């Protein structure tokens, strides 16, 4: 038996014992539990004491991390080695948020100076747009920006804008991802083409949904401004030649690199729309927070490392206790999109059934993630969390100081966050209720992450925390967290079906698919 196999066997043994006890009882058995299962990192306070592991179990999980060579994998990641084996690429998003003067290398090639040059161009562009020095074709300043992308080119920027936007922004951002024409129509409604910039974000500049929307937005500009409307086009792409061929002025094309995965790209020029809308200084503070978490993850010992600890807690639930679903509930309306962001970050990164070498994965991998803002979620899916037949671990996020509104309302919000974590763990015995309908089994685990305030630095650290957590989990499972071949088959088949729906010859399909195509063509 290898060290890795022995460590997984130790996890299973520890989990078997965990099934026979209750989380609440561990606080009496382990007087220092709260102190040892809480940690601070880059402005985040993380409490893992309501997880189902004992302190001895934590040591077992740290043994698993060591047996799976997490420290070596971390070193290779930061060194810019090829960690995305199926595509032959490093994954060096940390370079995007490192301060000037860093020396990151991607597969041996220096990249930090190029990153700094792009950031400088972004800063100049943002300042020119926000000051009015860069105006529209008719001389009017830009008052709105329509950001077109999908997946990592949409979810991250949309999340950042929702989290950090001012109450009365100088420049309004609207987002378009779905190829459903309704989304673009809604985004353009009420906008003046003279004052609207369109930013198209596509790594390859070939994504069907994004180009369809970009073409429609370009037509909307040209209908009002003629060919001069192309001056309102901006692109972010790793294929600048294709963006320029589309009509984007060369000096309004911002690049990023193939060592930046889409769902890890918000720190690059993919975040340009947010930098324009928020101001570049705010965007730079976001980068600073992400870098602070990078430094913590890179240097902290495994036992005191926030991304490692969070990953181990999730793996203990997912693999040890067989819990394939996790809820994420931010008690902050500005973070209502965080669960949707994590769906891509976690499920696209680690939703794999084979290891990095192509062998069948020996352990279940990514959990399904869902969630919504608290307290809204309490009146939707919390019934299932408290009294359903499945135990669903929960990540609860809270912000101590509200950014606007009534402080008393913020206190009520925090009271709900704390109470829900307690209720999930403690429950209510049937003996204390008039009937079984009102009993709560309890013993339902949660992690609690507290931010002092939702500022750019802390928010950047939060995103980076989960990025690194996903990486650690991938190392434990032996999978490649940086490719996403699972999205390719459906896209390829969609192109075939589209050709048929547009009048092309019938292809070979299963009977159900053939019938659906025939119905839509009739």
Neighbours of 113 (CB within 10 A): 13
Classify burial at 176, counting beta carbons within 10 Å of its beta carbon; exposed 0-12, middle 13-18, buried 19 or more: buried
Distance of alpha carbon 182 from alpha carbon 344, whole angstroms = 23
Q: Which residue spans within 71-225 are E strands per DSSP? A: 105-106, 109-110, 144-148, 172-176, 196-201
Active-site option among 401, 452, 488, 491:
491
The tokens of 216 are what?
Answer: 């429609």
379 noted as active-site residue: yes
Neighbours of 162 (CB within 10 A): 17
Q: Residue 231 CA to chain centroid, in angstroms?
A: 32
The tokens of 120 are what?
Answer: 């400088």
Classify burial at 443, counting beta carbons within 10 Å of its beta carbon; exposed 0-12, middle 13-18, buried 19 or more: middle
Q: Which of 213, 201, 190, 87 is nearest to 143 (CA)?
A: 190
Alpha-helical runs (H) found in 23-82: 23-29, 33-36, 55-67, 70-78
Coil, strand or helix: which one is 148? Answer: strand
Active-site option among 379, 401, 412, 432:
379
Distance of alpha carbon 372 from alpha carbon 213, whole angstroms = 28
Distance of alpha carbon 270 from alpha carbon 122, whole angstroms = 10
Q: Which of 492, 370, 390 is nearest to 441 (CA)?
A: 390
Q: Which of 477, 473, 479 is nearest to 314 (CA)?
A: 473
Active-site option among 195, 348, 467, 473:
348
The tokens of 32 are what?
Answer: 């220092």
Q: Kindly compute the dihedral angle of the four CA atoms of residues 452, 455, 457, 462, in this order, to the nearest 10 degrees.
A: 70
The tokens of 270 are what?
Answer: 């993919």
Residues annotated as part of the active site: 348, 379, 491
């Amino acid at each position: 038996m290898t060290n890795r196999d022995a460590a997984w066997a130790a996890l299973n043994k520890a989990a078997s014992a965990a099934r026979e006890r209750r989380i609440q009882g561990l606080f009496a058995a382990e007087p220092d539990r709260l102190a040892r299962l809480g940690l601070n990192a880059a402005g985040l306070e993380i409490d893992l004491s309501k997880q189902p592991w004992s302190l001895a179990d934590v040591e077992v999980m740290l043994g698993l991390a060591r047996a799976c060579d997490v420290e070596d994998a971390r070193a290779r990641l930061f060194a810019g080695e090829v960690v995305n084996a199926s595509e032959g690429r490093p994954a060096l998003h940390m370079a995007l948020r490192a301060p000037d003067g860093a020396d990151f290398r991607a597969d041996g090639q220096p990249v930090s100076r190029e990153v700094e040059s792009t950031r400088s161009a972004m800063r100049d562009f943002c300042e020119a747009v926000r000051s009015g020095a860069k105006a529209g074709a008719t001389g009017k300043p830009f008052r709105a920006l329509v950001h077109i992308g999908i997946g990592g080119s949409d979810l991250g920027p949309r999340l950042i804008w929702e989290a950090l936007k001012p109450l009365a922004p100088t420049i309004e951002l609207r987002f378009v991802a779905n190829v459903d024409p309704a989304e673009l129509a809604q985004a353009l409604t009420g906008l003046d083409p003279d004052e609207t910039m369109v930013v198209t974000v596509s790594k390859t500049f070939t994504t069907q949904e994004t180009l369809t929307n970009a073409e429609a937005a370009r037509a909307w500009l040209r209908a009002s401004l003629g060919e001069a409307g192309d001056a309102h086009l901006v692109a972010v792409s790793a294929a600048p030649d294709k963006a320029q061929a589309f009509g984007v002025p060369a000096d309004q094309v911002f690049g990023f690199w193939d060592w930046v995965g889409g769902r890890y790209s918000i720190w690059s020029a993919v975040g340009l729309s947010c930098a324009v809308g928020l101001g570049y200084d705010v965007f730079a503070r976001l980068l600073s927070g992400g870098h602070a978490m990078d430094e913590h993850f890179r240097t902290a010992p495994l036992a005191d490392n926030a991304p490692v600890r969070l990953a181990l807690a999730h793996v203990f639930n997912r693999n040890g206790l067989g819990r394939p679903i996790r809820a994420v509930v931010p008690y902050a309306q500005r973070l209502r999109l965080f669960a949707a962001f994590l769906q891509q970050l976690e499920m696209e990164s680690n939703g794999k059934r084979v290891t990095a070498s192509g062998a069948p994965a020996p352990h279940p991998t990514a959990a399904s993630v869902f969630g919504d803002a608290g307290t809204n979620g309490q009146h939707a899916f919390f019934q299932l969390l408290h009294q359903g037949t499945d135990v669903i671990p929960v990540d609860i996020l809270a912000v101590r100081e509200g950014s606007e509104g009534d402080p008393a309302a913020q206190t009520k919000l925090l009271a709900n966050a704390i109470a829900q974590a307690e209720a999930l763990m403690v429950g209510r015995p049937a003996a204390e209720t008039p009937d079984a309908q009102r009993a709560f089994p309890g013993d339902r685990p949660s992690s609690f992450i507290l931010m002092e305030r939702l500022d750019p630095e802390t928010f950047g650290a939060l995103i980076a925390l989960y990025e690194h957590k996903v990486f650690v989990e991938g190392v434990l499972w032996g999978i490649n967290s940086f490719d996403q071949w699972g999205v390719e088959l459906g896209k390829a088949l969609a192109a075939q079906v589209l050709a048929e729906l547009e009048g092309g010859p019938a292809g070979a399909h299963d009977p159900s698919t053939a019938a659906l195509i025939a119905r839509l063509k009739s």
